[in-house]
Amino acid sequence: MAGSDRRYPKTYPVSWEQLHRDARALSWRLLEIRRWRGIIAITRGGLVPSAIIARELDIHLVDTVCVSSYTGKDQGQVRVLKPVADDGADWLLVDDLVDTGKTAAVVREMIPRAHFATVYAKPAGRSLVDTYVTEVSQDTWILFPWDSESRFVQPIADRKQGGV
């Protein structure tokens, strides 16, 4: 699990309710910028935030750019599965998270004029996005609600003292 992974010694669990609140907070920021022609969701992580933002900003035109880079917690080569045939002018590009920036760099190059927004941002990729809500340290694994289930976990203090 994330707590035992050397790359991600910390875990930041996000509930459905928190994700909804954070995506709405992002919507408030985006509303102040301009009226958007549409949303391009980066699949798969950007689908849920895009749906919330589309509702909050009354956007009915939603497209996707489909990329694949993660298998579990391992990030490999970024593969574009479905591109977008637009430079992104007046479009909002949405993802759940910018982590290392590998996916963001590929998508940003493909859709250079889009306004790139993520709900969460880590330092390594933060400079590639235009707007985000919450910054999380690079060594933290964000545990999204679609990747988790509720269960008991040991308190952090117990784990630090060598507890099970």
- Report CA torsion sign: 128, 146, 141, 74: negative
Residue 45 resides in a domain: yes
Flag whether pLDDT at 87 surpasses 70.
yes
pLDDT-based confidence at 2, cuts 50/70/90? Answer: very low
Find the catalytic residue in 5, 86, 90, 96. Answer: 96
Q: Measured between alpha carbons, how far is 55 from 50 in angstroms, rounded to an integer?
A: 8
Residues 6 or more apart in contact with residue 162 via CB below 8 angstroms: none
Q: Which tens digit of pLDDT belongs to each residue from 114-143?
A: 999 999 999 999 999 999 999 999 999 999
Find the catalytic residue in 74, 99, 130, 158. Answer: 99
Q: Which tens digit of pLDDT belongs to each residue from 22-81?
A: 999 999 999 999 999 999 999 999 999 999 999 999 999 999 999 987 665 666 688 899
**Inter-residue contact 97 to 119 (CB < 8 Å):** yes
96 is an active site residue? yes
86 is an active site residue? no
What pLDDT is recorded for position 49? 98
Domain with 59 in it: what CATH number?
A: 3.40.50.2020
Q: Domain tally for the chain?
A: 1
Domain of 77 in residue numbering reads as 13-138
Find the catalytic residue in 22, 63, 95, 130. Answer: 95
Flag whether pLDDT at 4 surpasses 70.
no
Residue 66 resides in a domain: yes
95 is an active site residue? yes
